[in-house]
Structure 1
Amino acid sequence: MNILIKSAKIVYPQDKGLHLKKKDIFIKNGIIDTISSSVDVPSPTKIIDIKNLHVSLGWMDSGVSFGEPGYEERETLANGLDVAAISGYTDIILNPNTNPLPDTSSDIVFVMEKAKGKTTDLHPLGTLTKNSEGKDLAELFDMGNAGAVGFYDFKKQISNPNLLKIALLYAQNFDGLVFSYPQDGNIKGKGVVNEGENSTVLGLKGIPALAEELQISRDLFILEYTGGKLHIPTISTKNSVKLVAAAKKKGLDVSCSVAIHNLMFTDDSLKDFNTNFKVVPPLRTKEDCKALIKGLKDGVIDYVTTDHTPIDIEEKRVEFDHALEGTIGFESAFGSLNRLFGLEDSIALLTKGRERFAIREPKIAPGATANLCLFNPNVDWVFGPEHIESTSKNSMFLETTLKGKVYGTINNNQIALSNFE
């Protein structure tokens, strides 16, 4: 397949000769053939010519959930990957949030086989413990050999500190990446929202920041003792940023992420008891949001994630206490980040992180495999139900003004475009 991207501004700071320059990009059979001010192309060639078109490397998300196997009513692998592709993502890390849970090599192989042939590449996580029960380590080495890029008991704390110690020690034998969810379940208790003034006014049980910060402190002490590689997904508090910063200053091999919705929204959004705003970790305060944004700018927080979690309507249209946690986030991701950080910083955040998960780093250069995102950063628009392509519709971004629209991606000698025309 031949593709010509006409007169696109390339956002690629790795090459000063291309960065923010308008160029034609000719792609032949999935490989970038020519980058020039003007390209003559053979017939037939699909020509992409869009006003104010921008191009960057394809984006990566370090933690998304679908449903298959077990919860196909929420999202299938096929549709989830299609939505990721038209939202700008060419690589996603898939959370172990299914039934059955992926705790063996055969489970990893199943997911990877189902995901073949898509524009977006899927990189699965295996569970850290068998059935995510927090008792015995799962088949980490075998799952790693099968393609798992890390090990995570999704949204569950590792209650036993010795188990985390053993996991970090064992995973060093094959350079494995251990995830530890930052929440002490005993302190969280039955909490459903951030503990503070709003939880009191609304009469909802609170989750104190201490629940997150205590777990992170413990995990970092263990990491300092064992060595190894630790990833802390979706931190949400001001002091969590400080704890990670101090650990990095010591030279510990720790990374962390933050969910985009924890940058955009606070617990002030809960006043209408809209269950789309029920997430874990919970929405925190304005002070926390500011600290998280600063943490990203300073490089303390490594990655932004959509924390895309489809939940079907039956599990959301219930009383707030009983609703499942989660919001979808693919379709609104770029427009949210671009509004907060601007073009170049947003693209830097969206394209970083592959090396942490041992994923091949793409390039924009002749001879390189085309792994590209197409977008317009200068469109202001209001996100509505008609913009949701996910099977589940549980988005807290509805009625939010966003800046920038994604047209699609090119990867694996395929092209996925949204209905922008």
Structure 2
Amino acid sequence: MKNVILKQATIIDSESQFHNQKMDITIENGTITSIDKSAKNPNKLEEVSLDNLHVSQGWFDSSVSFGEPGLEDRETISNGLKVAAKSGFTDVALQPNSYPIIDNQSSISFVKQKAHGLATNLFPIGALTKNSEGNDLAELFDMKNAGAIAFGDYNKSMDKANIQKIALQYVQDFDGLVILFCQEKSLKGNGVVNEGIVSTKLGLKGIPNMAEEIDLIRNLSILEYTGGKMHLPTISTAKSVALIKEAKNKGLNVTCSVAVHHLTLNETVLEGFDSRFKVSPPLQTELNRKALIKGITEGTIDMITSDHNPIDIEHKKLEFDLAKDGTIGLETAFGMLQNVLSTEIIIEKLVNGKTVFGLEKNTIAVGNKASLSLFEPNSISVFGKENILSKSKNSAFLGQTLKGKVYGIYNNGKLEL
């Protein structure tokens, strides 16, 4: 256990009595033991002084992919969690898209054991269907008992509405959360970018917004029929935001997330045919990007995710049509978001997802567990290859200006800077 005093830290935590105050935070045995204007240090604890230090409750990312087991060339769990820690995340939800797919109790136990003892907590998402193929439900109850916090097939929509209906009914017995990605397959077809002026100009096959929206309408209709809890990840259109707002007003238990890249980039970056920008759902129009920002600020969108997805060079550095979807995003999440949102809103959206996924929130108060993200909100830097900490280098944010800097985290009794 690392015992420290964080010196002159500005606390950003609207739930804390010390919100917006500059304080010394003493941490002993993983617990906050005092918060003072100027801490005495009779026990000679290590004092941590960082330029313009700000701290908040630990950040949570609701969608990261690492690859292990089976795709360790993309990313390992231990390095992936180190990257998360250095990027300010105390907690991450791991997608089941490894090889084999995480669709049973022993796979959940394996990834949890791999993450044991590290500063950042890993919470596995179990596959909703066996092998994420959409045909039969996976062992949901067994996975829940082994530590799965939700169930979904990463970036795959559900063709069979009845399986979705049964899943939403079944998980209510143990208060399970179902994640449903929205992109109707036949409407998507062979599309690789958003359908519109840019796709026509580039001669690339387009995916209409309707592919997301029709699937989303169906998913919400089934939820209205079954009850239960549903999470819609990485929505990307204005109409999706409006539909979710309407569903929430009706009283449906639905939440949603948006990816950093959909808030900070638009489809015009595709003009160089660079496959780093190939993501699913695809980058959108500026109008849709602005609608997502509004969805964040008005409270319809519950959380922001990096949707961190490492892809090895053999599958990414290809012709645009052939390259795999996905960008890494942990390292750049905070700095990119600061270009479009206020620090307080960003932190709220990086913390509040914990409640949706049934995880513990730790307000910054004496006696509480120290689970803290450490950052500085004002410096300006340009993100280069040398700043990539992940094993895979497929970042859509190379060359982008970042505002602010993440120092690291204090969590699980460990200071990771």
TM-score (norm 1): 0.98
Aligned to 2:273: 273
Aligned to 1:173: 173
Q: How does 1:273-292 map to 2 (within 5 A)?
A: 273-292=273-292
Amino acid at match of 2:41: V
Task: State whether structure 2 residue 142 is matched by structure 1 residue 142.
Answer: yes
- Determine helix, strand or coil for the equivalent of 1:341: coil
Aligned to 1:309: 309
- Determine helix, strand or coil for the equivalent of 1:159: coil
Task: State whether structure 2 residue 351 is matched by structure 1 residue 351.
Answer: yes
Aligned to 2:55: 55
CA distance in 1, matches of 2:203, 2:393: 27
- Determine helix, strand or coil for the equivalent of 2:131: helix
Shift of 1:43: 4.6
Aligned to 1:11: 12
1:2–1:44 CA contact under 8 A, matched in 2: no
Shift of 1:118: 0.6
Amino acid at match of 2:391: T
2:57–2:361 CA contact under 8 A, matched in 1: no
1:278–1:324 CA contact under 8 A, matched in 2: yes
Aligned to 1:326: 326
CA distance in 2, matches of 1:290, 1:197: 18
Percent same amino acid among aligned pairs?
54
- Determine helix, strand or coil for the equivalent of 1:361: coil
Aligned to 1:107: 107
CA distance in 2, matches of 1:297, 1:229: 23
Deviations along 1:101-120, one digit per CA (max 9) or x if unpaired, are 11111111111011001100
Task: State whether structure 2 residue 382 is matched by structure 1 residue 382.
Answer: yes
2:63–2:94 CA contact under 8 A, matched in 1: yes
CA distance in 1, matches of 2:46, 2:351: 26
Task: State whether structure 2 residue 263 is matched by structure 1 residue 263.
Answer: yes
- Determine helix, strand or coil for the equivalent of 1:322: coil
1:105–1:143 CA contact under 8 A, matched in 2: yes
CA distance in 2, matches of 1:179, 1:390: 26
Aligned to 1:246: 246
- Determine helix, strand or coil for the equivalent of 1:339: coil
CA distance in 1, matches of 2:349, 2:301: 10
Task: State whether structure 2 residue 178 is matched by structure 1 residue 186.
Answer: no
- Determine helix, strand or coil for the equivalent of 2:360: coil
Q: How does 1:34-53 map to 2 (within 5 A)?
A: 34-53=34-53
CA distance in 1, matches of 2:392, 2:162: 38
CA distance in 2, matches of 1:69, 1:287: 39
Return 5+ residue gaps in structure 1 as ranges.
none
- Determine helix, strand or coil for the equivalent of 1:304: strand
CA distance in 2, matches of 1:246, 1:351: 24
Aligned to 1:234: 234
Amino acid at match of 1:346: I
Q: How does 1:392-407 map to 2 (within 5 A)?
A: 392-407=392-407
Deviations along 1:20-77, one digit per CA (max 9) or x if unpaired, are 1110011111111110011122455222111211111110011111110011011000
1:88–1:407 CA contact under 8 A, matched in 2: yes
Aligned to 2:117: 117
Task: State whether structure 2 residue 58 is matched by structure 1 residue 69.
Answer: no
Deviations along 1:123-177, one digit per CA (max 9) or x if unpaired, are 0000001111111100001101111001011111110111110000011111100
Deviations along 1:280-314, one digit per CA (max 9) or x if unpaired, are 00001000001000001111111100000001111
TM-score (norm 2): 0.99
Deviations along 1:160-206, one digit per CA (max 9) or x if unpaired, are 11111000001111110011110001110000000011111111111
2:57–2:364 CA contact under 8 A, matched in 1: yes
Q: How many residues align?
A: 416
Shift of 1:390: 0.6
Aligned to 2:198: 198
Aligned to 1:93: 93
Q: How does 1:218-229 map to 2 (within 5 A)?
A: 218-229=218-229
* Worse overlay, 348-357 or 407-416: 348-357
Amino acid at match of 2:282: P
Amino acid at match of 1:4: I
Amino acid at match of 2:315: E
